[in-house]
Structure 1
């Protein structure tokens, strides 16, 4: 059960630890051009077909690690960065914490997913907005403008035949065609959508070199399958949780929580809203998104019930002001740093 600040702290520490190990693998794959996990599927007789293809961008291998696809690897790793950013007190020195953050960000960059990098920027903006750090918010807004200009430039650049740019141009062109064809199919049944086999059979003209129709826009995919009604419900799943987390801020300290735990969950909900524009809703992505939904519900329940456990400081050890508020004088046994 997830009920106390200590529970959220343990989850954040576990995510940061798992993310650091995956980051090492991803960085090594990028530097060595060696997909460590790909041969394992053949060894155990798992034939996944085209998803096992090794992809390159600008001459560099897109690291996948234990994931099927590079974009999925980067998507999942962004959550570990948000978790690690809110557990400064778990490290003996600030330098160690910054070192871990640098390792995790490098891990997110290794798969070379632009959507994940944009999600990372949005997530950090959400964290500082939630914690009301005005200076950092201004800096991140400027950074967001730079990112937006970059994406617009990439989207408008003409096609090129240069080998280094060929894959990027093909990707951009495919996304444009997917959106155009998707909207045409959406117009045929805008309210409730259609079945996946019917949609797939009508969009065979988008079948690419891997032999699949890749729905690299989750919102378009949801709209095609469930229409406007389904898309609104999908967006509401994010929107309602973000709204309740935002309105929860004044009650965090009263319930024994600092802003760190809520900021971590808030960022983990904001980032996917952006990243799902650039990827499909498959493999481990739904698992992680739904787990984040559950984490937000647990946090809302714990704060609303006002649990303030007396064992938190003793169980965790050194005080963690970023995840909890200090106890009132005389309320707890003091633990020395």
Structure 2
């Protein structure tokens, strides 16, 4: 049996087990019909991907299936999250048919965006009461950043290629942000969307553990079967263990997705009735976070949990208890079988691949020298500078393992400022919305805590990795959800104040 078909058997068995276990707790948040429809769609598209033996055949079949499915879907973003990590984001070029070299690159994620989010965005624009794009401050900062990136692209490439990049930015950035920020309006919508992300993260987690244990990257062979070439498909190990990646392409990206899922799970688990289901979900996500053996996402996950606790009730004693548990776990690991191996993997403590930390320190130092030469708008040839050439690794590449450094080098401090301003503005808006709810146990306050903590964790994690594969899609989508939360809280204030104002105008 071909390797990709053997992998398919494993994937179907693992996913079936996850969906079976998740069915009952999922119905605590959403109707069973929604769960079944999205689960069946996940299986159907997975089977098509593994049996098509051609990416173009898969793309044609998936387009038809998705266009039919989105007409029945009341929450397009939930469907988008459910299918976002279906297969790796390896790209194929749409041919130009002799007119130009090629139109643009397409992959599963872009196909999903065009088939699910684009129709949703067009429908949202026609609905009354929707805030137009560009009206809100985060909109302005995002659009300014995209315009700057597109304009600066002309320095290094042709007009045709710049248009391709603009189209890519529209698909990868603007559509997820717009649908997330305008299409999610009520608390029930948030439950639906966050649960979809967590559900698919459960599947990724157990598949990641399978890869880690079996030392087998399950989705590598399907790329060959589909005729796709992709650089991000090699086997990576750390401390003698395989670093799982599943459909994300890189171990650190899988860790990033798991960290985000842990943050969103803090909201979802609040509505799950049985404690056993909550504990099983938490353990599965923790195992999924460990399987990629990526230290940056570990730090991000800890930051998410710390910020979440700090914003809740009895924050000081709970943080003290968490710190005590962390301190006591170190000597405990040193005496447990295999504990020394885990300690060696920990950031700033362990000795395994400690040179990676040194590389990141050198990257910061050398990049700052290059940035100072073109501080405002960066440069397109920064990789050719002596400082960056000295960063070439054994693979012959310069790995910009820091999203902020990459932005500052490519689009300067102006572009970095717009990027940071977008997220800072959102964080402040979430905090303001949370203050409108006095009870910290209220679901609206809980949702704000989760979104704020998750965004902070994302901003910390991308300090350790460049924005590759699905990383930017996730943070733009979570940013859009956070804007939706801010708008929802503003509507609640208006709804609460309107009856009081009307009452005060009544004659006495």
**Shorter-chain-normalised TM-score: which range?**
0.7 to 0.9
Residue of structure 1 in register with 2:313 after alignment? 132
Greater length-normalized contact order (CA 8 Å, ≥ 6 residues apart): 1
Match of 1:328 in 2: none
Q: C-alpha displacement at 1:140, in angstroms?
A: 4.1
**1:237 and 2:422 are equivalent in the alignment:** yes
- Uncovered stretches (5+) of structure 2, i.e. residues with no partner: 1-182, 330-345, 496-508
Pair 1:181-2:366 in alignment: yes
Once the 2 structures are TM-superposed, how far is the Cα of residue 141 of structure 1 from its aligned partner?
A: 5.3
Instruction: In structure 1, list runs of 5 or more residues that go unmatched.
Output: 158-164, 310-337
**Structure 1 residue 87, shift from structure 2 partner:** 2.3
Q: Which stretch of structure 1 is more off in the superposition, 82-91 or 123-132?
A: 82-91
TM-score when normalising by structure 2: 0.54
Q: 1:74 to 1:152 in 2, by over 3 A?
A: closer
Aligned to 2:255: 74
* Per-residue CA distance 1:186-226 (angstroms, 9 max, x = gap): 1211232212xx11222333232333221001111112123
1:284-303 to structure 2, matched below 5 A, reads 284-303=470-489
Equivalent in the alignment of 2:275: 94
Equivalents in 1 of 2:308, 2:355: separation in Å? 35
Match in the other structure for 1:55: 236
Preserved CA contact (<8 Å) 1:3 1:307: no
Q: Distance in 2 between matches of 1:63 and 1:152?
A: 22
CA distance in 1, matches of 2:356, 2:371: 22
Contact 2:238–2:293 (Cα < 8 Å) also in 1: yes
* Equivalent residue, structure 1, for 2:216: 34
User: By percentage of residues, which structure has more helix?
Assistant: 2
Q: Is the counterpart of residue 108 in structure 1 residue 289 in structure 2? A: yes
Aligned residue pairs: how many? 293
Partner of 2:432: 247
Distance in structure 1 (CA, Å) of the matches to 2:318 and 2:283: 18
**TM-score, with length taken from structure 1:** 0.79
Inter-partner Cα distance in structure 2 for 1:177 and 1:143: 33
Residue 204, structure 1, aligned to residue 389, structure 2: yes
Measured in 2, the distance between the counterparts of 1:229 and 1:298 equals 26
| Alignment counterpart, residue 452 of structure 2, candidates 266, 269, 275 | 266
Aligned to 1:19: 201
SS in 1 for 2:463: coil
Post-superposition Cα deviations, 1:50-106, rounded to whole Å, max 9, x if no partner, equal x21110000000000111100011101211112222223543310111111110111
Say if 1:173 and 1:89 are closer, same or farther in 2 by CA, change over 3 A.
closer
Report if the CA contact (8 A) 1:178-1:206 is conserved: yes
How far apart in 1 are the matches of 2:407 and 2:473? 16
SS at match of 1:303: helix
- Contact kept, 8 Å, 1:71 with 1:279, in 2: the verdict is yes
Q: Bigger CA drift: 169-178 or 273-282? A: 169-178
Deviation at 1:282, TM superposition (A): 1.9
Q: Alpha-carbon deviations, 1:246-267, whole Å to 9, x = none? A: 122232479x853221122112
Choose the corresponding residue for 1:3, options 185, 188, 205: 185
Larger CA deviation: 23-32 vs 200-209:
200-209
Give yes or no for contact 2:434–2:444 (8 Å, CA) kept in 1.
Answer: no
Structure 1 contact 4–308 (Cα < 8 Å) conserved? no
- Distance in 2 between the 1:288 and 1:110 partners? 20
Cross-structure match for 2:50: none
Deviation per CA, 1:256-312: give whole Å up to 9, x if none: 853221122112211012111111112111110100110001011011011899xxx
Counterpart residue number, 1:334: none
CA offsets per residue over residues 11-39 of structure 1, 9 Å max, x none? Answer: 12112211111101000100111110111
